[in-house]
Amino acid sequence: MVRIAVALVLVVSLSAVAQESVGIHIRELLRYRDVMPLHTYAPSPVLRFAEKGEPIIEKRVFGYLPYWANDTAHLRYALLTDIGYFSCELGSNGALGNCHNWPAAAPIAEAHGYGLKVHLVVTGFDKTTVLALVKNATQKNTFFAATYEKVTAAGADGLNVDFEVSSGSDSAAIAAFFRDLAAYFHDRSPNLEVSAALWAVDWQNTFAIGDMNGMDFFFIMAYDYHWKGGDPGPVSPLVSHSPWPEGGICVTRSFNDYAVKLGNSGLHRLLVGFPYYGYDWPTTSAAVPGTKTANAVSVTFQNIAVTDPTYDPGSETVYRAYYESGWHQMWFDTPETFAKKMAFVAQQPAGGTGMWALTYDGAGDEFWREIAIALTPPGPGSPENPIVIAAFPFVDEGNTYFYRSDVFDAYTCDHYPNSNAINEEGPEIVYRFTVASSGTLSAVLTKGEGGDPAAREDLDIHLLRSLDPSDCIARAHVSFEETLDPGTYYLVVDSYVTAAGVRKGGAYRLEVSWDGDEMPDEGKDEGGENEDDLLSDEDRVAEEVFDEPTPDTPILPEGETEADSLGEEEEGDVRSDGGDLLLDDADTTHSSAKGCGCFLVI
């Protein structure tokens, strides 16, 4: 389990210079520079840290939250550890400029309640200004004091610096700047964090991270290997083989290169960040590798609706070649190729991962699920491996964002008219129990039931005869009592989805009692662990499940409307996306980066 607080992220960048790449962070800030933050967050009562929940992942997950897309309704806080509020701009002589409504537009109190850190991102464009800052003692002290005040006044816990500048001759001064910055923060508040964002490829050896003593972590921006101004190709190639040059650059090589600089003892400080966007290039043909006829347009994952992409084994990403007033190639990641990236992070001694940018994947579960599968501990809770209720009373605290199961979307229940109209498309946790005699089962959610309209969670309980959601006996959003005959049954805690598409999953507490004789379902040892966890797949398949015939779907009683049957499940819309989010279209110059013949660091 990762413990969390709030930090400040500094991004100091350059103006576009022909021989230097200009990252997507800069291009998008330029595009949205005059846009007001999408949301502001009213001051909230001070919450006890992690009062409402905490991350369930085993590594750090740092996500940039741009002020122009800062709605948190679709974030899975259980699968994040850090939010970087993007951004506050660097001014001259070490001062800060426009901070884009920080801290009012940052979800600091909300994130703290779920055990997350919140980081402020400070951006700057001019190379001369950046290098003057790192070399001048007076400007450094001005900057250190200004950023420290921004962090502490907002209740934040650190600073992350992103110098998007290539200047190998100044690497010593840059390293000294980071050492002094870390010391300034840590000497005054030891719990504050100081970190830095890094190029995917440090062409000029600008960042001597092995000499940056005191830095807490580094975020590798492992994207834009092929950028909008170059020829088409994978935006974030995990590896590189034919048709891409063996021995070229890629995510794996970027990690290896920085690992060499940092040394084996410091690898836990490396985070590997991935893009939640792709590029669509006009091209001369469908051939790969291709040739552009114009600069690419960047497209967020939520706006990519491609059902038949072509897998590129040379990069372990996908593309789509199509003809529309000329040939195009769109390169991006699917949940399947993103899963490979998450597996890479899980297998390496890296400290974690992250993304540019939060909210760019929209409302869906697909990418969150892959984070959960790779970075949370395995356990029961799926239909194939349910949590066994072996004795009553039974109490369990769980979280649907483990994504143990996500296959039940609607239920047809005997004692809940029109229940199949209620959207339960979010992830669920499955329990199994067996009873030997007739009796009454009581089940109640004492946490996560959605009683507070502002709550991020709204979990519901379902009682099933079999692993068929149309074979449902009863459901409730808080509690129910049900008389049962002897047999084997299933309880499913599922995540309600609002009309606006907001998943209301998360942490819950389930309490179950039984007033009849009980038949333990083989397996709770004296230590409270499920012996079912230790069964082989063959043993689980061999277990017999008692099923009764599925009842007909109940008819809605005369005079009762669908709204009556939904009752408290009706929710106000938490969020309006306000249309598609476009990415940058700035015209910049950069040499295309291709390929990677690379090997995993184990």
Could you tell me the CA-to-CA distances from 26 to 211, 431, 524, 585 in Å, in that order? 26, 48, 55, 11
The per-residue pLDDT for 439 is: 96
pLDDT (tens digit, 9 = 90+) per residue, 428-468? 999 999 999 999 999 999 999 988 877 899 999 999 999 99
Pair of tokens at residue 412 = 């047809």
Domain contains 119: yes
Count other C-beta atoms under 10 Å from residue 74's C-beta.
21
Which residue shows structure tokens 């009796």? 439
The per-residue pLDDT for 595 is: 38
pLDDT (tens digit, 9 = 90+) per residue, 136-157? 999 999 999 999 999 999 998 8
Q: Which of 209, 204, 26, 224 is nearest to 124 (CA)?
A: 26
Domain contains 429: yes
In sequence order, which ranges of 15-170 are alpha helices (DSSP H)? 24-31, 108-113, 127-135, 137-153
* Structural domain that includes position 196: 8-276+334-374
Please say whether the beta carbons of 236 and 220 come within 8 A: no
Domain contains 569: no
Task: Identify the domain boundary among 324, 343, 374.
Answer: 374
Domain contains 361: yes
Exposure string for 277-299, b = 16+ CB within 10 A, e = fewer: bbbbbbbeeeebbbebeebbbbb
Q: Phi/psi of residue 305, each to 5°?
A: -115, 75
CA-to-CA distance for 287 and 301, rounded, in angstroms? 24
Q: Is the pLDDT of residue 517 over 80?
A: no
The per-residue pLDDT for 465 is: 98
Q: Which of 289-298, 367-376, 486-495, 593-602 has the lowest average pLDDT?
A: 593-602
Please provide the size of the chain in residues. 602
Count other C-beta atoms under 10 Å from residue 558's C-beta.
5
Collapsing DSSP states into helix, strand and coil, what is residue 102? coil
Q: Is the pLDDT of residue 164 over 90?
A: no
Which residue shows structure tokens 């966007």? 277
CA-to-CA distance for 390 and 433, rounded, in angstroms? 7
Task: Identify the domain boundary among 465, 500, 529.
Answer: 529
Q: Average pLDDT, stretch 44-71?
A: 92
The per-residue pLDDT for 557 is: 38
Which residues face 329 on adjacent strands?
281, 321
The answer to whether residues 392 and 254 belong to one domain is no
Pair of tokens at residue 268 = 């836990």
CA-to-CA distance for 400 and 393, rounded, in angstroms? 22
The answer to whether residues 125 and 272 belong to one domain is yes
Q: Is the pLDDT of residue 10 over 70?
A: no
pLDDT (tens digit, 9 = 90+) per residue, 223-272? 999 999 999 999 999 999 999 999 899 999 999 999 999 998 899 999 99
The answer to whether residues 60 and 183 belong to one domain is yes
CATH of the domain at 191: 3.20.20.80
Count other C-beta atoms under 10 Å from residue 326's C-beta.
11
Collapsing DSSP states into helix, strand and coil, what is residue 281? strand
pLDDT (tens digit, 9 = 90+) per residue, 102-112? 999 999 999 99
The answer to whether residues 369 and 436 belong to one domain is no
Domain contains 592: no
Please say whether the beta carbons of 405 and 438 come within 8 A: no
Under 8 Å CB-to-CB from 269, ≥6 apart: which residues? 215, 216, 217, 218, 262, 351
Domain contains 289: no
The answer to whether residues 366 and 439 belong to one domain is no
pLDDT (tens digit, 9 = 90+) per residue, 522-581? 544 333 344 344 343 333 333 333 333 333 333 333 343 333 333 334 333 333 333 344
pLDDT (tens digit, 9 = 90+) per residue, 283-297? 999 999 999 999 999
The answer to whether residues 244 and 342 belong to one domain is yes
Sheet holding 459-464, edge to edge: 387-388, 428-435, 487-495, 459-464, 472-476
Q: Phi/psi of residue 192, each to 5°?
A: -70, 150
The answer to whether residues 212 and 109 belong to one domain is yes
Q: Phi/psi of residue 435, each to 5°?
A: -120, 145
Exposure string for 26-61, b = 16+ CB within 10 A, e = fewer: bbbbbbbeeeebbbebeeeeeeeebebbbbbbebbb
The per-residue pLDDT for 522 is: 54
Domain contains 575: no
Domain contains 44: yes
Q: Is the pLDDT of residue 350 over 70?
A: yes
Q: How confident is the model at residue 158 (pLDDT cuts 50, 70, 90)?
A: confident
Letter for the amino acid at 578? G
The answer to whether residues 345 and 409 belong to one domain is no
pLDDT (tens digit, 9 = 90+) per residue, 198-208? 999 999 999 99
Neighbour-count burial of 494, counting CB atoms closer than 10 A to its CB (0-12 exposed, 13-18 middle, 19+ buried): buried
Domain count, the chain: 2
The answer to whether residues 418 and 342 belong to one domain is no
Collapsing DSSP states into helix, strand and coil, what is residue 327? strand
Q: How many CA atoms lie within 13 A of 596 on its CB side?
A: 30
Task: Identify the domain boundary among 529, 553, 586.
Answer: 529
Pair of tokens at residue 175 = 């390293």
The answer to whether residues 341 and 407 belong to one domain is no
The answer to whether residues 345 and 210 belong to one domain is yes
Collapsing DSSP states into helix, strand and coil, what is residue 370? helix
CATH of the domain at 521: 2.60.120.380
The answer to whether residues 364 and 454 belong to one domain is no
Cis peptide leading into residue 393 (ω within 30°): yes
Distance from first CA to last CA of the chain, Å, rounded? 22
